[in-house]
Chain A
Amino acid sequence: MTNRIALKFIFLILLIIIAGFLGNAIGFNPTQIVATSIFFTSIFATLLFWNFRLAVAFLGISLLLITKTVDLENAIKFASLEVILFLVGMMVLVGLLKEVGFFAWLITLFLRVRNLTAKRFILMISVFSALLACCVDEVTSIMFMVAAILEICDYFEVEPIPFIIISVLATNIGSSGTVLGNPIGILIASKSGLTFEDFIVKAFPLMCLCLLFIIFIISIWYRKAIKRLDGKIKELQANEILIRLISVPPEKQLKRGLGIFALTLFFISLHHRLENIWGLETNTLLLSIPLIFAGGVMIWRRNRARRYIEQEVDWWTLLFFLILFAQAGTLKYTGATDVLAKKMIGVTGSNPNILIGAILWISAIGSSILDNVVLVAAFIPIVQSLQALHFNLQPLWWALLFGGCLGGNITLIGSTANIVALGILEKEKNIRITFFKWFWIGLSVGLITTAIVWLVLIALPFYR
């Protein structure tokens, strides 16, 4: 074990040295080399030392400050506190929803479906997974979907693997549909000025198109599993035990919780119009609405307020994001991203269609191995630098969003949703999905959906 860690550590140092030499070859100055090397250390650490990623990030940002690569004021500015606070607000609201039984209630909706058929089940899994991921984050969404799928598969005595995979694929696709589905959504919105309405008008229909395609692909890919489930449904008939399995008391709290969440979504969807009416800066309300409602929830349930903040907010991940954003901002601050942007144009030429493709495919392939937040945080300053070269950034932002979300489907470590779902499957059923069992369907879905997005972004002027 110690040898393995030592080997990984040597590999990490090698990667950093290579990154340094590459930076030199590209034409970075010494400050830019320090900034990129430290940023790449954080990226590689997420790949090699998942449990130490926050520690590496702490050390990295300290080094950037000590070496005067960035000053304190700019490090704090780049840390994107507004994104972190938005995520804190949403996590508190999701904590409330959990507590009042919203997710358990969703599971009961699933279990109570009468006249179930395998095809209807597949359709439900895909649509529910995608829509739930649109409304709450993908990790919360997948946990409840997996719980419901396992109960149903247990009842009908069928292997849950195909249905879990379908749900994860749909969740990753669904997470691109709104600002709320994935941390990269709000990150891109806050840096690009794209609004919730932009996401609904442009990202959501494209997400639905991808979802339609994957429902078609998985219906063929898993036709045997679907046939087997149909046979079992006919054999065991009505799912009476499932219908009565769980209940969610008390209803009053659930209704209030649902009301608060619906109001949050309602105001988030209107944020741009309200900002225009009140003369506020773009996305001021988008970022503050979750905080306003989270504050209200913490007053309403004041005895639980501390619990929401301490237990429902994933501080470990948020702190990592905060420091990662500061490190990525340092790339822009030192001018490293301007150099990279120019080099990128040198490779792709000034044809925007090729540039859209390059950003889409690099982010899709990159996020099949790396955390998509890490990748998008690295790409954002590069995309911002392209503005100075007179490029229309809007299709590039969509390319980054969809690449980051759809790439997560390619490998089983491609997104946190995949890891959470497979973790539950292993714990509950002692089933370990092999890399290749996931890879072929994941790659097919990943490639096809990314290609669809590429075509749409190039062909439709609507996305320009």
Chain B
Amino acid sequence: MKVKDIMTRGVKSLSPHTTIREALNLLLEMHISGLPVINENNKIIGMFTEKDVLRNLLPSYIDKVGNFVYEENPKSIKKKIQDLLNLKVSQVMRKDVLIVDEDTALCEVARIMLTQRTRRLPVVDKDKNIVGIVAREDILKAYIKESSII
């Protein structure tokens, strides 16, 4: 089975010029955690996820400080949210995006997801235009269906 057989087609995407406020609203409306960012030529240039937003809100040094617990919300968070919401998607998105070709085997997609620790992968055609997206859940569903467990 190939990824094109199970991917979600007609993927909603974001423009790099969209504001974080609009992008976050879209994620919340759609109950998803991330969307690809596409340029005018329909080429994927980044991935915008909730994780990227959280990473920008909390101090970059939290993992280096070691073990501690936040007992209160830092005063700076409020201002950071206000500043962040007015930024553009292109300023926050992750630019090193992994993509897979639509003819990639499911096992290879699963391998990439596991080794690269990614939850979802955009699927592109031969001209590198985005044609769909595949998530971990889609792969598991396909495997279960194929082995007729359910």
Interface residues of A (CB under 8 A from B): 97-104, 107-108, 143-144, 146-147, 150-151, 154-155, 241, 244-249, 424, 427-428
The answer to whether B127 has its CB under 8 Å from any CB of chain A is no
Interface residues of B (CB under 8 A from A): 59-61, 64-72, 74-76, 79
CB distance from B37 to the nearest CB of A (A): 21
Chain B residue numbers with a CB within 8 Å of A144 are: 65
- The distance in angstroms between the C-alpha atoms of A41 and B21, with both chains bound, is 50
CB distance from A393 to the nearest CB of B (A): 39
CB distance from A242 to the nearest CB of B (A): 8
- The distance in angstroms between the C-alpha atoms of A124 and B34, with both chains bound, is 44
Partner of A147, one of B65, B69, B70: B65
> Nearest A residue to B61 by beta-carbon distance?
A147
- The distance in angstroms between the C-alpha atoms of A100 and B65, with both chains bound, is 10
**Do B68 and A248 touch (CB < 8 A)?**
yes
**Do A247 and B68 touch (CB < 8 A)?**
yes
A-B Cβ contacts below 8 A, count: 68
| Known A101-B67, A102-B66, A154-B79; further 9 A-B contacts with Cβ < 8 A | A98-B66, A98-B67, A101-B66, A104-B68, A107-B65, A154-B76, A247-B68, A247-B69, A249-B67
Chain B residue numbers with a CB within 8 Å of A146 are: 61
Chain A residue numbers with a CB within 8 Å of B72 are: 241, 244-245
> Nearest B residue to A148 by beta-carbon distance?
B65
- Are A249 and B69 also in contact (CB < 8 A) when A151-B74, A154-B75, A154-B76 are? yes
**Do A248 and B76 touch (CB < 8 A)?**
no
CB distance from A148 to the nearest CB of B (A): 9
Partner of A99, one of B66, B69, B71, B79: B66
> Nearest B residue to A427 by beta-carbon distance?
B60
**Do A150 and B59 touch (CB < 8 A)?**
yes
- The distance in angstroms between the C-alpha atoms of A146 and B74, with both chains bound, is 15
CB distance from B56 to the nearest CB of A (A): 10
Partner of A424, one of B60, B66, B71, B79: B60
- Are A248 and B64 also in contact (CB < 8 A) when A150-B59, A241-B75 are? no
CB distance from B111 to the nearest CB of A (A): 23
10 contacts between A and B (CB under 8 A): A100-B67, A103-B66, A104-B68, A107-B68, A144-B65, A147-B59, A246-B69, A247-B71, A427-B60, A428-B60
